[in-house]
Amino acid sequence: MRNALKTVMFVSALSPSLISVALARVWDRGPTWDALWYALAGCVGILLIRYIVDALRWNGETFPITLKKVEANDALMLGVIVTYFIPFIGKAADITVGVVLGILALAGVSLWMSSSILPNPVLRSLGYRFYKAETDSGVVYTLITLRDLVDPRQVRAVKRISGSMLLEVV
C-alpha cells in the first residue's frame, strides 16, 4: 500500500502536463471536449496530491527519528518542470489519450520500482521542500517538509509515506 501511495503521489506530479496539453489543444484547435477532459484530469491530479498529503498528516502513524545529515534534493526539479512545457513544443497535435495513459503507466511502473523519487513541483508550489536525509544508522530517506532545514536535529518526528519517503510532522 505504501508503494502505491508513493506512486500515485508522484505520477500525479505529471498533472500540470495534462493541463499544458489542454492549453495546447485550445491554442491549436480552439475549445474542444478533448481539451476539457485533459484539463479536468490535470486538476483532479493536483487535488489528489493535496488530498494524499493532508490524509497523511491527519491519519499517518507518527514516529520519532534522529537524523545525522540532511541535504537539499531539488536539483532535478528543472527536468520535471520542462515536461510541463513539452506539449507546447509540438502544440500537442499528435498526443492522444492513449499516448498520455501510456506515459502515465510507464511513469507509474518506473516510480513503483524505484526507491528514489524526483522532487514534485506541485508539492513545491504548495511550499514543501525535499531533502535527502540520513539517519544515525545510515538509512537514507527522501524527507518532505514545509520548513527550510539547516540542522538535522530540527526534525524530531515524521510520518512514513513509503519505505524510502518520510513526511515531517510540524
| Helix (H) or strand (E) segment spanning residue 5 | helix 2-11
Residue 168 three-state SS = strand
- Residue 169 burial (10 A CB sphere; 0-12, 13-18, 19+): middle
Q: Given a cut of 70, is residue 92 above it in pLDDT?
A: no
> Is this model's pTM higher than 0.85 or not?
no
**5-9, 21-25, 56-60, 116-120: least confident range:** 116-120
Amino acid at 41: A
Positive or negative CA dihedral for 4, 113, 122, 133?
Answer: positive
pLDDT exceeds 90 at position 40: yes
* Residue 139 three-state SS: coil
Residue 95 pLDDT > 70, yes or no? Answer: no
Contact call for residues 160 and 2 (beta carbons, < 8 A): yes
- Provide the percentage of residues in the chain whose pLDDT is more than 70: 75
Q: In the chain, what are the domain boundaries?
A: 2-168
pLDDT above 70: residue 83: no
pLDDT of residue 57: 84
Distance CA 53, CA 48 (A): 9
Query: Any idea how long the chain is?
Result: 170
Cα 116–chain centre separation:
12
Residue 118 has pLDDT above 90, yes or no: no
Residue pair 17/84 in contact by the 8 Å Cβ criterion = yes
